[in-house]
């Protein structure tokens, strides 16, 4: 592991121009469960009943039951050592961007500025009828059966991409630009099974970027595009890479 961390540190130092592509695994140590696997949210809630846009429009009260639970966990969560490590890498100029599938806003809290929220943000509410937006707060969570738009009285929805919705066009185009230009892509804590998000590292690989992957277990990327696989927790491995770079992890 030490040799691999050193190799990744060398790739990052020599090329600069790194981009991170993150998924739910990076936030597990912040106390936010992932979607798939034993403790996964989709084991408890069927995504076609709770995360599909027509299901939301049909029964916002039912879907808000899960959204409130998720929101409560997110608002309490703090960045993990892995989030903090990415914040430092951007600050010292070794990371250009974080492209995240996560909706928890923890990368920004950890200090990353160029964050592309591919699946939107749970920290914002949006009205699908009139586009009104507001912050997702403790107060909005307390409104039963769900918060409504003050302008048109329609149900507000966290500004996250539900199944059946489009990826926000600006996130999609920014992600393509970063992936096509980077020299090193670090894939962290994602199962890599949700598209079009999973196309982002595939594009980086096609354009010649070295692909580093950090995960507690292999994924479809591991045997296809990954050049260096670091098996283990992101919050253990990223601080080790920073250590190899001579950087302290906050
Ligand atoms: P998943 O739950 O599918 O995968 C989480 C990944 O993190 C798995 O590969 C785990 O092995 C890995 N993992 C868990 N703990 C880890 C740790 N401490 N360190 C490193 N890796 C760890 O989550 P995503 O891949 O993010 O979409 O899911 C992709 C999308 O599916 C989500 O954005 C969400 C979901 O449906 C929408 O809601 C649109």
| H helical segments located in the chain | 2-15, 41-44, 47-50, 53-58, 60-76, 81-91, 106-109, 138-141, 169-181, 199-206, 234-244
Q: What is the pLDDT of residue 17?
A: 84
Reported as a pLDDT band with limits 50, 70 and 90, residue 166 is: very high
Q: Is the CB of 100 under 6 A from ligand 1?
A: no
Distance 191 CA to ligand 1 centre (A): 5
d(CA 49, CA 172): 26
Catalytic residue among 83, 107, 119, 122: 119
83 catalytically annotated: no
Q: Is the pLDDT of residue 249 over 80?
A: no
d(CA 29, CA 21): 17
- Map out the domains of the chain as residue ranges: 1-32+78-119+167-250, 34-76+121-160
User: Each residue of 22-45: b (16+ CB within 10 Å) or e?
Assistant: bbbbbbbbbebbbbeeeeebeeeb
Q: What share of the chain is helix, strand, coil (3-state, %, to 5)?
A: 40, 20, 40
Rg (CA), the chain: 18
Three-state SS string across 194-207, please? CCCCCHHHHHHHHC
Q: What is the mean pLDDT of residues 17-43?
A: 94
pLDDT tens, 172-222?
A: 999 999 999 999 999 999 999 999 999 999 999 999 999 999 999 999 999
Distance 182 CA to ligand 1 centre (A): 23
The chain-wide mean pLDDT, for the chain, equals 96
Which CATH number applies to 1-32+78-119+167-250: 3.20.20.100, 1.20.140.10, 3.90.1150.10, 3.40.50.1220?
A: 3.40.50.1220
Q: What is the pLDDT of residue 38?
A: 83
Half-sphere exposure of 240 (CA within 13 A, CB side): 17
pLDDT tens, 111-140?
A: 999 999 999 999 999 999 999 999 999 998
User: What pairing do the DSSP bridges indicate for beta strands 228-231 and 115-117?
Assistant: unpaired
Percent of the chain with pLDDT over 90: 94
Q: What is the pLDDT of residue 250?
A: 65
The answer regarding whether domain 34-76+121-160 maps to CATH 1.10.579.10 reads: no
Q: What is the mean pLDDT of residues 50-66?
A: 96
Q: What is the pLDDT of residue 2?
A: 86
Closest C-alpha among 176, 218, 27 to residue 107: 27
Reported as a pLDDT band with limits 50, 70 and 90, residue 248 is: confident
Place of tokens 């939107």: 120
For the chain, helix (H) and strand (E) counts, in that order, are 11, 9
Q: What is the pLDDT of residue 1?
A: 85
Percent of the chain with pLDDT over 70: 100
Ligand 1 pocket, mutate which of 167, 216, 221, 239 (most atoms under 8 A from CB) = 216
């Amino acid at each position: 592991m030490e040799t691999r961390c050193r190799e990744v540190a060398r790739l990052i130092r020599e090329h600069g121009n790194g981009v991170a592509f993150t998924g739910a695994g990076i936030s597990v140590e912040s106390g936010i469960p992932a979607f798939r696997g034993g403790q996964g949210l989709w084991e408890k809630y069927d995504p076609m009943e709770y995360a599909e846009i027509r299901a939301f429009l049909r029964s916002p009260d039912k879907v808000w039951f899960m959204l409130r639970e998720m929101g409560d966990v997110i608002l309490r969560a703090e960045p993990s050592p892995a989030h903090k490590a990415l914040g430092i890498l951007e600050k010292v100029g070794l990371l250009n961007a974080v492209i995240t599938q996560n909706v928890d806003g923890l990368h920004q809290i950890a200090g990353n500025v160029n964050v592309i929220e591919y699946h939107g943000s749970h920290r914002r509410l949006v009205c699908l009828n009139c586009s009104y937006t507001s912050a997702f707060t403790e107060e909005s969570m307390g409104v039963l059966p769900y918060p409504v738009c003050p302008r048109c009285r329609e149900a507000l929805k966290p500004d996250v991409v539900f199944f059946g919705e489009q990826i926000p066009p600006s996130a999609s185009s920014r992600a393509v630009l970063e992936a096509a230009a980077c020299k090193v892509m670090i894939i962290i804590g994602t199962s890599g099974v949700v598209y079009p998000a999973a196309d982002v590292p595939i594009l980086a690989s096609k354009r010649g970027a070295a692909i580093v992957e950090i995960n507690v277990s292999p994924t479809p990327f591991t045997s296809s595009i990954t050049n260096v696989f670091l098996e283990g927790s992101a919050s253990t491995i990223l601080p080790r890479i920073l250590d190899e770079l001579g950087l302290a992890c906050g």
